[in-house]
Homo-oligomer: A and B are copies of this chain.
Amino acid sequence: MNRSLSITTKHGLLKTPFFMPIATQGAVKSLTVADLKRLGATIVLSNTYHLYLRPGEKLLNSAKGLHGFMKWDGPILTDSGGYQVFSLGAKNNNGLVKLTDDGVEFKDHLRGGKHFFTPERALEIQSAIGSDIRMVLDICSEYPCTEEKAREDMERTLAWAERSIEYKKKNDGDYLLFAIVQGGMHQSLREECARRLVEMPFDGYAIGGVSVGEPWEEARKVLDWVVPLLPENKPRYLMGVGKPEQMQEAYRKGIDMFDCVIPTREARHAKLYTTDGTTYGEINILNEKYSTDFSVINPNSKLEELQTYTKAYLRHLFIVKEPLALRLATLHNLETYLTLFSSNSS
């Protein structure tokens, strides 16, 4: 199949397929932007909800946006903040966020301050961030979700998508705006949502509401329902998925863009995602058998440190809680993820 698109952004040309490392709060855990370049990252993803809280729009504006602040000169994609509002915001508020047709009121997870996000506000914040690819505010249905509730979420998502297009028309529009297909695990809703979004002039289409606790078989079905309805010539982004094999399968089904917290989050838990270039594996480096494994972390790595340090040493660093452990494991996992499509895109 070997699908590949070129995406033009203010900060350079992107070639799909690609994986986006997550710089949640303006930094990829323990890595510098030079590290990201060494790893071959072409774009990073950052989180609007987190950046809105800290450092905030005012500071981002004076820093010339997130590019100026974090010194990454390549493209940046930002989510709309919606996902965190419904997860982190709700956690802090007995599971409650106040949802209306206009927007969503929530309390933040840091100090419990009250905030109100509308589709327009989400884009305004992303404007302070200055990201190259911006996502519309959407409502991510829980899993599982009744058809009635999933339809309600979808209708609001569609109305907010419409308002986001209007906002972009009226304001400085020097960015790519992506819509998000919702609809829960309901085929008719997913198809309807995709069809109605495709009628709006978005620059790309994301599939959201997956990687929310459902088995992979369910997410696979969503791909089969939605992807055929999306335009061939516009990028398709599968949000938050997943394991290496799932991403490769999704790529074969026509997905172009990926992000996932797994490589960075699991690095904290001493889990390494490995590959020999063909198959993929997971190892827990804390396993006793690595205590005397003096083979290097990854003999095929292009990074000097992963070709220098041994598994036994990395295990020791985790056990004694040395911060270098996180750095080495993060580099390792991101390298695996960033080379997932290297044979396709070369």
Instruction: List residues of A whose CB falls within 8 A of some B CB.
Output: 25-27, 29-34, 50, 54-55, 59, 62-63, 68-71, 291-292, 294, 304-305, 308-310, 312-313, 316-317, 319-320, 322-324, 326-327
24 examples of A-B residue contacts, CB within 8 angstroms: A26-B316, A26-B317, A26-B322, A27-B322, A27-B324, A29-B323, A29-B324, A30-B30, A30-B322, A30-B327, A32-B305, A32-B308, A32-B309, A32-B324, A32-B327, A34-B305, A50-B320, A54-B320, A59-B292, A62-B292, A63-B310, A69-B312, A323-B327, A327-B327
- Most chain B beta carbons < 10 A, residue from A25, A27, A62, A326: A27
Say yes or no: B63 contacts A294, CB within 8 Å: yes
| B residues near A55, Cβ cutoff 8 Å | 291, 312, 316, 319
Q: In the complex the two chains form, what is the Cα distance from A255 to B26 in whole Å? A: 44
Measured CB to CB, the closest approach of chain B to A22, in angstroms, equals 12
How many angstroms from the CA of A107 to the CA of B78 in the assembled complex?
Answer: 52
Q: Are B69 and A313 in contact (CB under 8 A)?
A: yes
Q: Which residue of B lies closest to A319 (CB)?
A: B54
- Would B326 and A323 count as touching, CB distance under 8 A? yes
Shortest CB-to-CB span from A269 to chain B, Å, is: 14
Are the CB atoms of B71 and A320 closer together than 8 Å?
A: no
Q: Beyond A25-B320, A55-B312, list 18 extra A-B contacts (CB 8 Å).
A: A26-B316, A26-B322, A27-B317, A27-B324, A29-B324, A30-B30, A30-B323, A34-B304, A34-B308, A54-B316, A54-B320, A55-B319, A63-B310, A69-B310, A69-B312, A69-B316, A70-B313, A71-B308
Instruction: List B contacts of A32 (CB < 8 A).
Output: 305, 308-309, 324, 327
- A26 in complex: contacting residue of B25, B31, B291, B313, CB < 8 Å: B313
Residues of B close to A322: CB separation below 8 A: 25-27, 29-30
Give the complex CA separation of A55 and B319 in angstroms: 9
Q: What residue of chain B has the Cβ atom nearest to residue A30's Cβ?
A: B323
Residue of B at shortest CB range from A331?
B32
Q: How far is the CA of A317 from the CA of B29 in the complex (A)?
A: 10
Contact B59 A291 (CB under 8 A): yes
CB nearest neighbor in B for A296? B71
A268 nearest CB neighbor, chain B only: B323
Write out the residue numbers on chain B whose beta carbons fall within 8 Å of the beta carbon of A308: 32-34, 71
Residues of B within 8 A of A310 (CB): 63, 69
- Check B25 against A294 for contact (C-beta < 8 Å): no
Q: Which of A68, A312, A320 has the most CB of B within 10 A?
A: A320
Name the contact of A294 in the complex, choosing from B62, B292, B294 (C-beta under 8 A).
B62
A63 touching B312, Cβ below 8 Å: yes
Please report the C-alpha to C-alpha distance between residue A83 and residue B138 in the assembled complex, in whole angstroms: 59
Contacts of A62 in B (CB 8 A): 292, 294
Taken together as a complex, chains A and B put the C-alpha atoms of A119 and B76 apart, in Å, by 59
For A29, A33, A309, A324, the residue with the greatest tally of chain B CB atoms inside 10 Å of its CB is A324
Q: For A309, list chain B residues within 8 Å (CB).
A: 32, 71
The 4 A-B pairs of least Cβ separation, nearest first, read A30-B323, A25-B320, A27-B322, A27-B324
Tell me if A313 and B54 are in contact (CB < 8 A).
Answer: no
Q: Which residue on B lies nearest to A323, using beta carbons?
A: B30
